[in-house]
């Protein structure tokens, strides 16, 4: 495999053997452990830490990956402070067990030693199509193979693992880790059709004739346009295209001295820190609300501060200026009216100002794949696929999981949620096909 750029030091270094031993032996193996309840995939944390403490790394990795097929990426990118570690009984003393690091240690052992942990179930003769080979699709595929169903993943990209492979910056999640994780699922005998966009290269209806069930796990789309003049100028980027090119070591042209990132979620933080590590002198985040309303995780925000990112709150872009390339952005200051029923930022009259910038990256969320859902014949609610408790869509024989069912008002979408939803969908599909555990 080609060596891809890491863009500087990984944020998170693995713990040493000694640190791991000390940390594992600090765990109290709590009864009804709160860390396990706080994990969306309900990993039996006490059990896997206990196995590390006794040197059974293979057994530990099995406990983790059984509950979470995306355990390798989650050990690196989960907001553990908000999940398992935030719930740990030591949290009140500010010394929660470093669950993410322990998880990474056990899985790295399996990764390095090439141990196979799972085997497919007895063949059932049933066939399931999965649309999208990101975390949700892979998780569903893994469990469907354990049930014994034949699985084919249709993936638009060249490689599997969705945003884990192409979206999360390499200094948080390396490309080869994402590919290793996907390969573990493929090794169970999953058929993979990459470079195949369902709805374009093959129709949903034809797949539903050939397969007994389908799981739609296509994620979300690109970053929407800002809707202001000058957006088509060279030097204006969609954050996802920008990060993908940087991660794959492709050219992102000359960023110039000053990069402006519009938005304040985790994608914005990745675009900001990536720009800085690509050599931009100044990198500034602009957000139309305040610091408290940022959707990026606290640890992400802290990391961006350490990387030297500048932050400008309560300002919105109104125009991108330039002749043949971005040269500046016009902004207006914003405020949130006190006592408003739905607090939306509004422009402050006469507050316009101009910032000289060389590159603009929009990172204001992701659009919805409405065309895909229409072609699939499944209903949505404002672009969010409608599902019931078992993740069945409105079309018989079709389930959905992952970011495509992620609704507004939640915090940022997460890999661990996509992994859990993949499992839930697989269980329900299997019951529909007459195989339950
Ligand atoms: C920049 C960025 C940083 C993030 N950082 C974190 C983080 O630190 N921690 C965290 O937990 N989460 C993070 N996330 C969120 C996380 O990546 C997603 O929640 C997760 O990847 C969702 O998984 P998914 O399988 O639903 O979708 P995706 O990962 O988007 O995968 C969907 C797959 O479907 C494919 N596809 C789409 N349409 C079709 C079609 N018609 N036919 C065939 N294939 C199709 C796509 O090519 C893609 O491979 C981040 C997201 C971004 C964008
Ligand atoms: S809550 Fe903390 S101490 Fe208790 S089992 Fe979980 S990790 Fe161990």
Q: What is the pLDDT of residues 279-335, one digit of tens each?
A: 999 999 999 999 998 989 888 999 999 999 999 999 999 999 999 999 999 999 999
Question: Which residue's CA is the closest to the ligand 1 atom numbered 5?
Answer: 168
In the chain, % of residues over pLDDT 90: 89
Query: What's the pTM?
Result: 0.96
Q: Do domains 17-113 and 236-362 have the same CATH topology?
A: no
The top-level CATH class assigned to 17-113 is mainly alpha
**72 φ, ψ (degrees, to nearest 5):** -70, -45
Structure tokens belonging to residue 195: 């470079």
User: How sure is the predictor about 151, in pLDDT bands with cuts at 50, 70 and 90?
Assistant: very high
pLDDT at 434 over 70: yes
pLDDT for the residue 437: 75
Which structure tokens are listed for 159?
Answer: 């490689």
What's the mean pLDDT in 232-240?
Answer: 97
Interval 93-140: pLDDT, tens: 999 999 999 999 999 999 999 999 999 999 999 999 999 999 999 999
Mutation choice for ligand 1 from 163, 246, 267, CB with most ligand atoms inside 8 A: 163
* Distance in Å, CA 413 to ligand 1 centroid: 9
CA–CA–CA angle 30, 35, 37 (5° rounding)? 105
Instruction: Please state which CATH number belongs to domain 127-221+367-432.
Output: 3.50.50.60
* Ligand 2 geometric centre to CA of 80 (Å): 13
Ligand nearest to the CA of 372: 1
Query: Measuring CA to CA, which residue among 269, 315, 264, 316 is closest to residue 291?
Result: 264
Contact 64, 111 (CB under 8 A): no
Q: Using most ligand atoms within 8 A of CB, pick from 50, 53, 63, 88 the residue to mutate for ligand 2.
A: 88
CA distance 288 to 78: 27
Which pLDDT band holds residue 341 (cuts at 50, 70, 90)?
low
Provide the pLDDT for residue 97. Answer: 98
> Which residue has a Cα nearest atom 4 of ligand 2?
30
- In the structure, what pLDDT confidence band is assigned to residue 5 with cuts at 50, 70 and 90? low
The Cα 225–Cα 272 span in angstroms is 18
The CA distance from 17 to 257, in Å, is 42
Q: Where are the domains of the chain?
A: 17-113, 127-221+367-432, 236-362
- Kindly give the number of the ligand 2 atom that is closest to the alpha carbon of 34: 1
pLDDT in tens, 210-228: 999 999 999 999 999 999 9
What kind of fold does domain 236-362 have according to CATH?
A: FAD/NAD(P)-binding domain (3.50.50)
Q: Are 351 and 333 in contact (CB under 8 A)?
A: yes
Q: List pLDDT tens digits, range 50-66.
A: 999 999 999 999 999 99
């Amino acid at each position: 495999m080609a060596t891809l750029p890491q863009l500087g030091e990984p944020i998170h270094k693995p713990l040493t053997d000694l640190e791991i031993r000390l940390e594992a032996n600090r765990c109290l193996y709590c009864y009804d452990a709160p860390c396990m309840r706080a994990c969306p995939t309900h990993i039996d944390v006490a059990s896997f830490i206990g196995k590390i403490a006794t040197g059974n790394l293979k057994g530990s990795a099995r406990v983790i990956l059984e509950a979470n097929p995306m355990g390798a990426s989650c050990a690196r990118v989960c907001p553990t402070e908000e999940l398992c570690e935030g719930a740990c009984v030591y949290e009140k003393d500010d010394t929660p067990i470093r669950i993410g690091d322990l998880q990474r240690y056990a899985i790295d052992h399996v990764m390095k030693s090439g141990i196979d942990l799972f085997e497919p179930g007895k063949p059932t003769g049933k066939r399931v199509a999965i649309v999208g080979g990101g975390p949700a699709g892979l998780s569903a595929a893994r469990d469907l193979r354990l049930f014994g169903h034949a699985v084919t993943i249709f993936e638009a990209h060249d490689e599997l693992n969705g945003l884990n492979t192409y979206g999360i910056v390499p200094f948080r999640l390396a490309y080869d880790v994402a590919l290793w994780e996907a390969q573990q699922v493929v090794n169970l005998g999953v058929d993979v059709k990459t470079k195949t966009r369902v709805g374009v290269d093959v129709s949903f209806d034809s797949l539903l004739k050939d397969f007994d069930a389908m799981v739609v796990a296509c994620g979300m789309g690109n970053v929407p346009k800002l809707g202001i003049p000058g957006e088509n100028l060279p030097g204006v980027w969609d954050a996802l295209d920008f990060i993908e090119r940087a991660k794959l070591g492709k050219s992102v042209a000359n960023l110039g001295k000053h990069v402006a990132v519009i938005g304040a979620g985790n994608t914005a933080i990745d675009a900001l820190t990536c720009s800085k590590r690509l050599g931009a002198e100044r990198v500034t985040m602009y957000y139309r609300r305040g610091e408290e309303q940022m959707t990026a995780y606290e640890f992400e925000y802290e990391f961006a501060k350490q990387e030297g990112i500048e932050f400008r709150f309560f300002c919105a872009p109104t125009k991108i200026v330039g002749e043949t390339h971005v040269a500046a952005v016009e902004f207006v200051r914003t405020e949130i009216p006190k006592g408003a029923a739905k607090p939306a930022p509004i422009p402050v009259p006469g507050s316009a100002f101009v910032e000289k910038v060389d590159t603009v990256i929009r990172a204001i969320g992701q659009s919805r794949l409405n065309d895909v859902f229409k072609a699939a014949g499944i209903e949505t609610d404002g672009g969010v696929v409608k599902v019931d408790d078992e993740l069945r869509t409105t079309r018989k024989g079709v389930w959905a999981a992952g970011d495509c069912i992620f609704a507004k008002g939640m915090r940022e979408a997460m890999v661990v949620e996509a992994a859990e939803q993949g499992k839930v969908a697989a269980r329900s599909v299997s019951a529909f096909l007459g195989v339950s555990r």
